[in-house]
Structure 1
Amino acid sequence: MSLSHSLRQEGGALVVALSGSFTFSEHNAFRKVIEEVTATQPKRVTVDLEKLNRVDSAGLSMLVLLRDRVGKGGGTVQLRRPPAQVARILDVVDFSQLFEILR
């Protein structure tokens, strides 16, 4: 299953809801998501991972790129509701050092 996304405003944050598989093959599509998000110059971005079923190192790198791009505009990015499989990966790579992770 390929990666899909939706954007919505929620409580002062721009929410990026991801679903499907976030792998290397999706990096070009996610660059467009990054452009879409940063065009609005958000101060807070929440990436909802609840429906993400798979992430690889390229997907993790894209999340870091999103954080860096949003950070250039003075904004922050947090990750929300990672499913157990994704949460284990985030823990192994110590993403809590880079993101606030809301479980």
Structure 2
Amino acid sequence: MNVSISHQDDILTVRLDGTMDYTATSLMNGLISDINSISASRVIFDLAKVARVDSVGLGMLHLAKDEIVGKGRHLTLRGAAGSVRRLFELTDGDASFDFE
């Protein structure tokens, strides 16, 4: 998985590209640390280029959400489509996350 981060005004955008599965665990753990070091009240995870998310990837997104929201920030998922969006619907993740 590839990650790029941009920070403009009070919004931190994290663009993910690839597959979110067990192979991305250490990358996501580092990403959460990076996010915590950047001051922004809103964090957007752009999933438009994520081809697949498995249960481990979904769990990592929940952990990221807990960490981000726990710091008083707002998390939004952007661009989730196809099977990625369907996974959120099947697991009630669409009720746990804000989407745009």
Question: Same fold judged by TM-score > 0.5?
Answer: yes
Residue number in structure 2 paired with 1:67: 65
**Closer/same/farther in 2, CA of residues 93 and 10 from structure 1, 3 Å limit:** farther
Between the aligned residues of both structures, percent identity stands at 28
Per the TM alignment, residue 90 of structure 1 is displaced from its structure 2 partner at its CA by 1.0
* TM-superposed deviation, 1:52: 0.2
8 A contact 1:51–1:83 mirrored in 2: no
Q: Match of 2:98? A: 100
Superposition RMSD on alpha carbons, in Å?
1.2
| Counterpart residue type for residue 90 of structure 2 | V
Alpha-carbon distance in 2 for matches of 1:20, 1:74:
28
Cα distance change, pair 47–4 in 1 and its aligned pair in 2 (3 A): same
Structure 1 runs not aligned, ≥5 long: none
Return the alpha-carbon distance in structure 2 between the equivalents of residues 68 and 79 of structure 1: 14
Query: Distance in 1 between the 2:80 and 2:86 partners?
Result: 9
TM superposition shift of 1:33: 0.6
Q: Is the 8 A contact 1:41 1:70 kept in 2?
A: no
Looking at structure 2, the residues matched to 42 and 59 of structure 1 have their Cα atoms a distance apart, in angstroms, of: 24
Which one of the candidate residues 75, 82, 85 is aligned to 1:84?
82
Counterpart-to-counterpart distance in 1, 2:73 and 2:67: 9
Query: Residue type of the partner of 1:8?
Result: S
Q: 1:49 aligns with which of 31, 47, 50?
A: 47
**Stretches of structure 2 lacking an aligned partner (at least 5 in a row):** none
Deviation at 1:9, TM superposition (A): 2.1
CA separation in 1, counterparts of 2:55 and 2:24? 12
Q: Runs ≥4 in structure 1, deviation > 4 angstroms?
A: none
Per the TM alignment, residue 10 of structure 1 is displaced from its structure 2 partner at its CA by 4.3
Once the 2 structures are TM-superposed, how far is the Cα of residue 71 of structure 1 from its aligned partner? 1.4
